[in-house]
Structure 1
Amino acid sequence: MFSPVSILVVTVLSGLMATAVLGSLVPAAIPGLGCWIAANTLAIVSLLLFATQGHVSPLVSIVMANEVLAVSLLLVLEGCRRFLGRRRRMFDAYAGAVAVLLGINYWTFFAPNFDARVAVASALHAYLYASIAWVVLRGRPADRPAYSYNFVTIAALLFCFGHAARGLIYGLGELNQTSLMQATPINAAFMGIGILALPCMSTGIVMLAHDRLAQRLERLANVDDLTGAWSRRAFMLKAQTLIDAAARSSRPVALAIIDIDRFKLINDTYGHAAGDSVLTHFAALVQRNLRAGDVFGRLGGEEFGVLCPHTDVAEAVVLLERLRERLASTTMPQEAGMSAYTFSVGADQHRPGERLAALMVRVDAALYTAKASGRDRVVVSA
């Protein structure tokens, strides 16, 4: 049977390795990472303090060790909250940590009771693991793969149940134990569960951090950095998906290609910084006025695409004309050096059996007609 000391040593070593892995991610500036690294460090410190029981003052080996471990779990929770952009602080968790500290002091120095100490500490840990599971489960972005979030959630729930069972057994006084370091089968079993907590949670946290890095890389590949619109590649993929879906459901889908008028003249007259301001201003205007489900992408230079699912060409024209009117009523930022600009649009809806490339050729021809007819207008493909 493993001794409690050997279990603590293995856990400390795994914690050191996990901390090194998390430390390698610091340059990525991932929200919550600092809390997770601090949590791992404090968990290692607490385990070392627990290992000193019988050799140093109970104030250090029991009270301080328990509170440092509780703070480490609070930091894991806080790290998950920051990672997922949750604003509401869980003051009940902090209040619980303070209450447990008071209880451990009482049952250590005033009315010594090992079972009571273990019960209240386990109850707090069960609650904190449940809170971690809840925050991660509720906070998972809908557009991200579920695997890493589910791993953290399931691991946290398993440790929640493990601590709840431990607290219940000790709270009922079912065990004749007076020290955490006693080499009994049940104590070794519970500590064996504990040995998995640190590496499992650390692994899950590393998985979350890598998912965030993958999300950033996907954004770099799929989102135009200047305007925030989808890149041409991403727009074309989404357009093909929507057109395939429209073909299966026989629902209409409309495509518009928009070109900012005299954009080269804007660059030549006011400079490329002004051109960039026009692009960002236009993209922000479009994104504010599109409907949920509409797809907006930058096809290249000053040319943009808008795809409107469940929309026929007449409805798309109404949307685009409203967009022109709103542009006419807005004011350019003063730093752009110019007061106004316009855009031209070619539009049409997908025809049964038509390929995306053919639809784009027709819409592009309509855009050319809009340009040749005097610009600042919406033209539907003939």
Structure 2
Amino acid sequence: MLNPVSILVVTVLSGLMAAAVLGSLLPAAIPGLGLWIGANVLAMVSMLLYATQGHASPLLSILTANQLLAVSLLLVLEGCHRFMGRGTHPVDGYVGAVAVFAGIVYWTFVKPDFDARVAVVSAFHGYLYASLAWMMLRRRPSDRPAYGYYFVAVTALLLCVGHLARGMLYGTGQLTQTSLLQVTPVNIAFMGIGILALPCVSIGMVMLAHDRLAQRLERLANVDDLTGAWGRRAFLLKAQTMLDMSARSGTPVALAIIDIDRFKLINDTCGHATGDSVLTHFASFVEGQLRAGDVFGRLGGEEFGVLCPRTTVSEAAAMLERLRQQLAERGGPALPGVSKYTFSVGVDQHRLGEPLSALMARADAALYAAKASGRDRVMRAL
């Protein structure tokens, strides 16, 4: 039969592997990752201290071991708070840890009672795992794959049930024992379940970290680094999706192609750094004025595109004319040599059954007509 010491040793080894995998992701600077690694380290130290029961002082093998394990779970929660960008902290968990510490001290040194100690520690761990599951389900980003978040949530829920069942059985006197390392079938069974806690939670953290890396890669591939607008590839994909939805619903879609006037002259006379500032100012200005649902992207250089769902060409032209007038009134960024800048627009509406390329060609032709007519204007395709 397995014995508790061997189970604790296996748990430590699995924790070492998990910490090594998480550590390999440190250069990515993922929020919360350092806390997850720290949680693994504290959990491993806790397991080693548990294994010394009967040989080391209860201060180390019981009190310190229990507190380190509790803190390791709190670090997992704290790391998840940071990972999800929450400014709050699991204050209730820290308060609970203090209460559990007091309980362990009382039932270890004042009135020794192993069963009571197991009940309070198991109840606290069950609460922490329930909090972790709730966070994963409630705070999961809707735009990210759900698998990793659900894996952590289900794992935490199963561990919560296991801890609560253990606490209830010992707390009600249905199970009794005198030490953690006592070899009984039930104790081995509970510890066998517990052996899965550290590696399973760590696997979940690795899944979350890899999802964050994937999100960053997707952003690099789809978002223009300078302006924050959608890149050309992502913009065209969104445009095709929007046209497909328009064809099914019968609602209009308008496309505008925008070009900053005399941008090459700005670069040549004021420098590329100033040109970049004009691009970022323009992108920020346009995105701040567009409606919810409109899609804004950088097609290349100083050329941008705007997709307007449920919008006719007349409505889109009027909206862009308002943008043009607002920029003229506000002026450009406060940069040496650039007091103001203007832009030209070509706009048209999608026609049923035509490909995206045809719509873009007409809007582009309208843009060139606007430039040929003197720039700083909005023109509809003929």
What band does the TM-score fall into relative to the shorter chain? over 0.9
- CA distance in 1 between partners of 2:336 and 2:218 (Å): 31
Aligned residue for 2:311? 311
Q: Against the structure 1 CA distance between its residues 53 and 331, is the aligned structure 2 distance closer, same or farther, given a 3 Å change threshold?
A: farther
- CA distance in 1 between partners of 2:111 and 2:173 (Å): 15
Aligned residue for 1:240? 240
Q: Secondary structure at the match of 1:332?
A: coil
Q: Is the 8 A contact 2:53 2:181 kept in 1?
A: yes
Q: Is the 8 A contact 1:277 1:336 kept in 2?
A: no
Q: Secondary structure at the match of 1:370?
A: helix
Q: Secondary structure at the match of 1:225?
A: coil
Aligned residue for 2:257? 257
CA offsets 1:333-355 (integer angstroms, 9 cap, x no match): 33454111000000111111111
- CA distance in 2 between partners of 1:23 and 1:313 (Å): 54
Amino acid at match of 1:300: G
- CA distance in 2 between partners of 1:341 and 1:331 (Å): 7
Q: CA offset at residue 121 of structure 1?
A: 0.5
Aligned residue for 1:53? 53
Aligned residue for 1:128? 128
Q: Against the structure 1 CA distance between its residues 336 and 133, is the aligned structure 2 distance closer, same or farther, given a 3 Å change threshold?
A: farther
Q: Is the 8 A contact 1:32 1:79 kept in 2?
A: yes
2:353 maps to 1:365: no
- CA distance in 2 between partners of 1:336 and 1:289 (Å): 26
CA offsets 1:222-253 (integer angstroms, 9 cap, x no match): 11000001110110011001101100111111
CA offsets 1:179-227 (integer angstroms, 9 cap, x no match): 1111111111111111000000000100110111111111111110000
Amino acid at match of 1:328: A
Aligned residue for 1:199? 199
- CA distance in 2 between partners of 1:295 and 1:73 (Å): 42
Aligned residue for 1:85? 85
Q: Is the 8 A contact 2:4 2:191 kept in 1?
A: yes
Moved more, 159-168 or 317-326: 317-326
Aligned residue for 2:282? 282
CA offsets 1:84-128 (integer angstroms, 9 cap, x no match): 001122211110000000001001111111111111111111111
Q: Is the 8 A contact 1:270 1:337 kept in 2?
A: yes
Aligned residue for 2:269? 269
Aligned residue for 1:157? 157
TM-score, length basis structure 1: 0.98
- CA distance in 2 between partners of 1:247 and 1:12 (Å): 58
Amino acid at match of 1:44: M
Q: Against the structure 1 CA distance between its residues 252 and 336, is the aligned structure 2 distance closer, same or farther, given a 3 Å change threshold?
A: farther
Aligned residue for 1:189? 189
Aligned residue for 1:94? 94
> What is the RMSD computed on CA atoms of the aligned residues?
1.0
Q: Secondary structure at the match of 1:82?
A: helix
Aligned residue for 2:377? 377
Q: Is the 8 A contact 2:333 2:340 kept in 1?
A: no
* Percent of residue pairs bearing the same amino acid type: 73
Q: Is the 8 A contact 2:257 2:367 kept in 1?
A: yes
Q: CA offset at residue 130 of structure 1?
A: 1.0
- CA distance in 1 between partners of 2:336 and 2:294 (Å): 28
CA offsets 1:338-376 (integer angstroms, 9 cap, x no match): 111000000111111111000001110111111111111
Segments of structure 1 that go 5 or more residues without pairing to the other structure are none
Q: Is the 8 A contact 2:295 2:308 kept in 1?
A: yes
- CA distance in 1 between partners of 2:354 and 2:224 (Å): 28
Stretches (4+) displaced over 3 A = none
CA offsets 1:155-188 (integer angstroms, 9 cap, x no match): 1111111111111111101112011111111111
CA offsets 1:313-340 (integer angstroms, 9 cap, x no match): 1221222122112212334333454111
Q: Secondary structure at the match of 1:304?
A: strand
Amino acid at match of 2:189: A
Amino acid at match of 1:203: I
Amino acid at match of 2:53: Q
2:350 maps to 1:353: no
Aligned length: 382
- CA distance in 1 between partners of 2:181 and 2:233 (Å): 60
Q: Secondary structure at the match of 2:305?
A: strand
Aligned residue for 2:140? 140
Q: Against the structure 1 CA distance between its residues 336 and 219, is the aligned structure 2 distance closer, same or farther, given a 3 Å change threshold?
A: farther
Aligned residue for 1:295? 295
Aligned residue for 2:33? 33
CA offsets 1:283-328 (integer angstroms, 9 cap, x no match): 0111111112111110000000000111111221222122112212
Aligned residue for 1:11? 11
Aligned residue for 1:119? 119
TM-score, length basis structure 2: 0.98
- CA distance in 1 between partners of 2:249 and 2:54 (Å): 73
Q: Secondary structure at the match of 2:31?
A: coil
Amino acid at match of 1:365: A
Q: Against the structure 1 CA distance between its residues 49 and 99, is the aligned structure 2 distance closer, same or farther, given a 3 Å change threshold?
A: same
- CA distance in 2 between partners of 1:343 and 1:132 (Å): 51
Aligned residue for 2:324? 324
Q: Is the 8 A contact 1:362 1:381 kept in 2?
A: yes
- CA distance in 2 between partners of 1:332 and 1:260 (Å): 12
Aligned residue for 2:169? 169
- CA distance in 2 between partners of 1:199 and 1:67 (Å): 20
- CA distance in 1 between partners of 2:212 and 2:316 (Å): 36
